[in-house]
């Protein structure tokens, strides 16, 4: 049997052309692997048939929407993961689940190599290849765009010359990646960082300058995971989809950022993540009610490290696994309801309640029924400030 290569297949121009391009350059048979992580667009069966029509000997397709939401998006929500405090890891989260299915397909069809459509300048080449070696170190990796000089112009010419069943156009200047957690847009005129994004860039969100009436939503959490919206039980996927719809209608989750890529380049990115941003805002406030002060402080440090590891493609790293265990422990009592008003690009928490919360009305109130012993404060302040007092006395003594 000929050598076989599994290709991460999107169904678009570049990866469709890559099927024949790889076969001609390597002499290997190509198996296309398409994974649905909620990116929308075409049916998986249509994508499967296109891959076969473009020369793939086999096509592996997987509906991984629930898997992606439960096993990848929910851990990110529990971590309140925002790279640069803004970006909710839209693309970074999808790569590990795609890699998981690439490895599964490689084993199923006896492939020795995987291929992806990334360039040599981006983060995704690292995420794919490090993901592969961490799950299947015996598999080799190739990247047609990077390693075989497959440019977009060459891809269009190849598709037209071979009459491939794929639309070819040089008009769309943007590179777009999307899934249920959000949407990423880059390149084209956005590469001039002085240029403002135009309205046609956005798809998941409506213009926040012209919002509909305010939308009040109640989100119920159980151990850090949304389980009900307005009293209606939801799966993680349904929670994200519902919040995408409602928060997107209010223009929530638009992000325009110059971020630090893993490869050392600063890159201008436009993101849309209405559901992710609204859910993270609600989850953070649920944690404020339910997590003890010092644990909350330390969790913020752990979440920062977790976010950077995932952004850098280290989903399967031992440190990431250890941080997973810590974050999961912090979510034990993150239960209750958050009421939020969404309007004009903002999601504002207006109410909280929890049976496992640490907020005590009688301790917090300044009115009748106050149970806080204020006489204890004087001694606490004396001890708390003692070290600073001693240092100040030394400075005074030394002039």
State yes or no: pLDDT of 128 exceeds 80: yes
Give the C-alpha separation, 36 to 50, whole Å. Answer: 15
Domain spanning 4-171, CATH architecture: 3-Layer(aba) Sandwich (3.40)
Q: Is 127 exposed, middle or buried (0-12, 13-18, 19+ CB in 10 A)?
A: buried
What is the reported pLDDT for 171? 59
- The model's pTM is 0.94
Conformation bin of residue 313: beta by default, left when phi > 0, alpha when psi is -120 to 50? left
What is the reported pLDDT for 160? 83
Q: Which two tokens stand for residue 292?
A: 């003890």
267 is in an annotated binding site: no
182 and 204 in contact (C-beta within 8 Å)?
yes
As a whole number, mean pLDDT of residues 243-253 equals 98
157 given a catalytic annotation:
no
State yes or no: pLDDT of 1 exceeds 80: no
As a whole number, mean pLDDT of residues 247-253 equals 98
CATH class entry, domain 176-291+333-353: alpha beta
Active-site position among 4, 50, 95, 246: 95
Least confident range from 146-155, 191-200, 223-232, 376-385: namely 146-155
139 is in an annotated binding site: no
14 is in an annotated binding site: yes
As a whole number, mean pLDDT of residues 136-144 equals 93
Q: Give percent of the chain above pLDDT 90.
A: 77
- Residue-wise pLDDT for 256-307, tens only, equals 999 999 989 999 999 999 999 999 999 999 999 999 999 999 999 999 999 9
Segment holding 270, helix H or strand E: strand 266-272
Domains of the chain, residue spans: 4-171, 176-291+333-353, 372-397
Q: Give percent of the chain above pLDDT 70.
A: 98
207 given a catalytic annotation:
no
124 given a catalytic annotation:
yes
Question: To the nearest whole number, what is the mean pLDDT of the chain?
Answer: 93
What is the reported pLDDT for 259? 95
8 is in an annotated binding site: yes
What is the reported pLDDT for 283? 98
State yes or no: pLDDT of 334 exceeds 70: yes
């Amino acid at each position: 049997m000929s050598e076989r290569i599994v290709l991460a297949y999107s169904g678009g121009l570049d990866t469709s052309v890559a099927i024949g391009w790889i076969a001609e350059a390597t002499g290997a048979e190509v198996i296309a692997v398409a994974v649905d992580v909620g990116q929308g667009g075409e049916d998986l069966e249509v994508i499967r048939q296109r891959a076969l029509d473009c020369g793939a000997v086999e096509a592996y397709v997987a509906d991984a929407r629930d898997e992606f939401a439960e096993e990848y998006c929910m851990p990110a929500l529990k971590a309140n993961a925002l790279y640069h405090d803004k970006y909710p890891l839209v693309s970074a989260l999808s790569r590990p689940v795609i890699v998981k299915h690439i490895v599964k397909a490689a084993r199923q069809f006896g492939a020795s190599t995987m291929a992806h459509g990334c360039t040599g300048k981006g983060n995704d080449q690292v995420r794919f290849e490090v993901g592969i070696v961490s799950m299947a170190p015996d598999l080799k990796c190739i990247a047609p765009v990077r390693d075989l000089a497959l440019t977009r112009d060459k891809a269009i010419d190849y598709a037209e010359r071979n009459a491939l069943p794929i639309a070819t156009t040089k008009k769309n200047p943007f590179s777009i990646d999307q899934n249920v957690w959000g949407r990423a847009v880059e390149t084209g005129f956005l590469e001039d960082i002085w240029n403002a994004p135009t309205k046609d860039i956005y798809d998941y969100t409506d213009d926040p300058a012209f919002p509909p009436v305010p939308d009040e939503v109640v989100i119920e959490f159980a151990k850090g995971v949304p389980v009900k919206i307005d009293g209606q039980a939801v799966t993680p996927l349904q929670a994200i989809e519902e919040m995408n719809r409602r928060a997107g209608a209010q223009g929530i989750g638009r992000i325009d950022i110059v971020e630090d890529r893993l490869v050392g380049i600063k890159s201008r990115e436009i993101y849309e993540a209405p559901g992710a941003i609204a859910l993270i805002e609600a989850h953070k406030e649920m944690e404020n009610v339910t997590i003890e002060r010092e644990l909350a402080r330390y969790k913020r440090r752990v979440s920062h490290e977790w976010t950077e590891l995932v952004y850098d493609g280290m989903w399967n790293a031992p440190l990431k696994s250890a941080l997973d265990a810590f974050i999961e422990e912090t979510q034990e009592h993150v239960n209750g309801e958050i009421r939020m008003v969404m309007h004009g690009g903002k999601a504002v928490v207006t109410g909280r309640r929890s049976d496992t919360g640490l907020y005590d009305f009688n301790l917090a109130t300044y009115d009748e029924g106050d149970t806080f012993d204020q006489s204890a404060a004087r001694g606490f302040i004396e001890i708390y400030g003692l070290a600073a007092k001693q240092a100040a006395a030394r400075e005074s003594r030394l002039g």
